[in-house]
């Protein structure tokens, strides 16, 4: 039987990347104003917007549910918040930026002096015009974030402080998009949906995941694909706790984050370090022509640390451009709609599609002529001496002994995977190779 090694990348490579990136950026712009947190209305609104793009099933887990060593927290919602001076001016106003409120702030209404207020104010002195993003998920607290310059301008006064929020038993919500392939083996794509108006951190990963799901939805697929849109840490822990059987089907996975800035790529390897996904991403980045760095696993960062906890030890790495905490705009108002750009978003999507193409087509073959090379010339398969096509055919015919995958051969030959994929298809059609 002749295998169908279909190019999943042809569609994206023939598309206008700037246009795709523009559509991704529009989705980010639509989601940007929503005040998200690990629970609450902002997550619902975000998932409802994604449901208009891709088929998404939504799960709700009650507060108080025990998930391994954690407990699903109370649901947080916020309607308004401000600090008002004695003249009735809102000097800090949630309606201007949702970053102004410490996420998960408990409700408060009080009058206080600047001295009393100050322990509850957070600023970034090194970037005096930016508002920091801060949270207090697991310790009940309240606070405001503001630019350092704004804090310095606050005069002695009697301030009215009001946070109109609620922290009550409710639900933790996440979304799943499942694409059924030929096999039950799954590829996991995971991104977090719990940050308010931050573009690179959370929204870029969401945009790349949504457009990857849209793209793959029309393709015949060997693996099944599960896209998770979940609140960071507690969402991944909750999903894993409730889906331990399904987690065993995950063969390969990627956490997507920080994929919209124009910097070089970073890939953080899975805990196991030499899995097919680790090698696939390294191979695609090596041949991408873009600057990149491969990082060994470490136990902090994004949700890969839950998927790679020793009990699961899944083959899940993390693809990003800049690394969390290593760009000045990280967790601040400067991570905005100007910081993420259409072309870097589209490039990130392209890298993901090439990785999926590799996973889908990474098969093993057996040469039908193990005793010396078959004569390629008489089959019109011997091109220019030293050409890439010739080299690909010779490497395939030599290493296809049933033990070497196309990725093994790509790594050893230095040739790009897609060249070997197309050459293997041709050699199969000429009955020189068969699938192992
Ligand atoms: Zn973050």
What's the CA-to-centroid distance between 204 and ligand 1, angstroms?
12
Averaged pLDDT, 117-130: 98
Domain boundaries, the chain: 3-72+171-358, 76-168, 364-435
Look at residue 1 and tell me whether its pLDDT is greater than 80: no
CA 202 to centroid of ligand 1, rounded, Å: 7
Asked if CATH classification 2.40.50.180 holds for the domain at 364-435, the reply, yes or no, is: no
pLDDT in tens, 349-382: 999 999 999 999 999 999 999 999 999 999 999 9
Distance CA 353, CA 339 (A): 23
Distance in Å, CA 241 to ligand 1 centroid: 22
Distance CA 235, CA 270 (A): 19
* 385 band by pLDDT with thresholds 50, 70 and 90: confident
209-255: pLDDT as tens digits: 999 999 999 999 999 999 999 999 999 999 999 999 999 999 999 99
Position 96 scores a pLDDT of 98
Whether domain 76-168 has CATH 3.50.30.90: the reply is yes
Residue 250 Ramachandran class (φ > 0 left, ψ -120 to 50 alpha, else beta): beta
**Residue among 285, 246, 254 at smallest CA distance from 270:** 254
Q: How confident is the model at residue 406 (pLDDT cuts 50, 70, 90)?
A: very high
pTM: 0.96
For residues 8-22, average pLDDT: 83
Q: Quote the mean pLDDT of the chain.
A: 96
Measured distance CA(166)–CA(74) in Å, rounded: 9
- How far is the centre of ligand 1, averaged over its atoms, from the C-alpha of 198 (Å)? 8
Q: Compute the distance from residue 358 Cα to the ligand 1 centre, in Å.
A: 29
pLDDT, greater one: 17 or 241: 241
* Amino acid 3: pLDDT: 63
What's the CATH number for 3-72+171-358?
A: 3.40.630.10
Ligand 1 mean position, distance from CA 104 (Å) = 15
> Which among 34, 127, 180 has a CA at the least distance from the CA of 328?
127
What count of other Cβ atoms lies within 10 Å of the Cβ of residue 220? Answer: 11
pLDDT band at 322, cuts 50/70/90?
very high
**Region 400-425 average pLDDT:** 97
């Amino acid at each position: 039987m002749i295998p169908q090694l279909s190019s999943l990348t042809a569609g994206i490579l023939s598309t206008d990347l700037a246009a795709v990136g523009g559509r991704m950026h529009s989705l980010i712009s639509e989601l940007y104003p929503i005040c998200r947190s690990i629970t609450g209305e902002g997550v619902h609104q975000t998932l409802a917007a994604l449901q208009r793009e891709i088929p998404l099933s939504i799960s709700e887990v009650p507060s108080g549910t025990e998930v391994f060593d954690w407990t699903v927290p109370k649901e947080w919602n916020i309607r308004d918040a401000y600090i008002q001076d004695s003249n009735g001016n809102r000097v800090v106003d949630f309606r201007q930026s949702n970053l102004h409120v410490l996420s998960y702030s408990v409700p408060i209404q009080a009058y206080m002096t600047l001295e009393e207020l100050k322990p509850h104010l957070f600023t970034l002195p090194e970037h005096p015009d930016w508002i920091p993003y801060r949270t207090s998920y697991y310790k009940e607290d309240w606070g405001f974030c503001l630019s350092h310059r704004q804090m310095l301008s606050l005069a002695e006064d009697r301030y009215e402080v009001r946070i109109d929020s609620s922290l009550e038993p409710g639900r933790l919500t996440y979304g799943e998009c499942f694409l059924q392939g030929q096999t039950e083996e799954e590829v996991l794509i995971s991104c977090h949906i719990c940050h308010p108006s931050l573009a690179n951190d959370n929204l870029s990963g969401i945009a790349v995941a949504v457009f990857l799901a849209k793209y793959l939805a029309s393709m015949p697929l060997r693996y099944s694909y599960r896209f998770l849109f979940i609140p960071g840490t507690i969402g991944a822990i909750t999903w894993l706790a409730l889906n331990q059987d399904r987690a065993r089907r995950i063969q390969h996975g990627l956490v997507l984050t920080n994929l919209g800035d124009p910097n070089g790529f970073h890939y953080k390897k899975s805990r196991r370090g030499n899995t097919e996904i680790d090698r696939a991403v390294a191979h695609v980045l090596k041949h991408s022509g873009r600057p990149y760095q491969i990082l060994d696993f470490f136990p902090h960062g994004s949700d890969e640390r839950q998927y790679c906890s020793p009990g699961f030890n899944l083959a899940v790495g993390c693809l990003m451009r800049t690394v969390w905490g290593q760009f000045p705009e990280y967790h601040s108002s400067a991570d905005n709609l100007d910081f993420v750009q259409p072309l870097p978003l589209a490039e990130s999507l392209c890298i993901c599609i090439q990785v999926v193409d590799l996973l889908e087509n990474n098969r093993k073959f057996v040469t039908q002529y193990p005793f010396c090379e078959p004569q390629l010339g008489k089959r019109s398969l011997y091109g220019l001496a030293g050409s890439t096509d010739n080299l690909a055919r010779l490497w395939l015919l030599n290493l296809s002994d049933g033990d070497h995958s196309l990725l093994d051969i790509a790594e050893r030959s230095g040739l790009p995977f897609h060249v070997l994929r197309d050459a293997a298809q041709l050699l199969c059609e000429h009955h020189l190779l068969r699938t192992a």
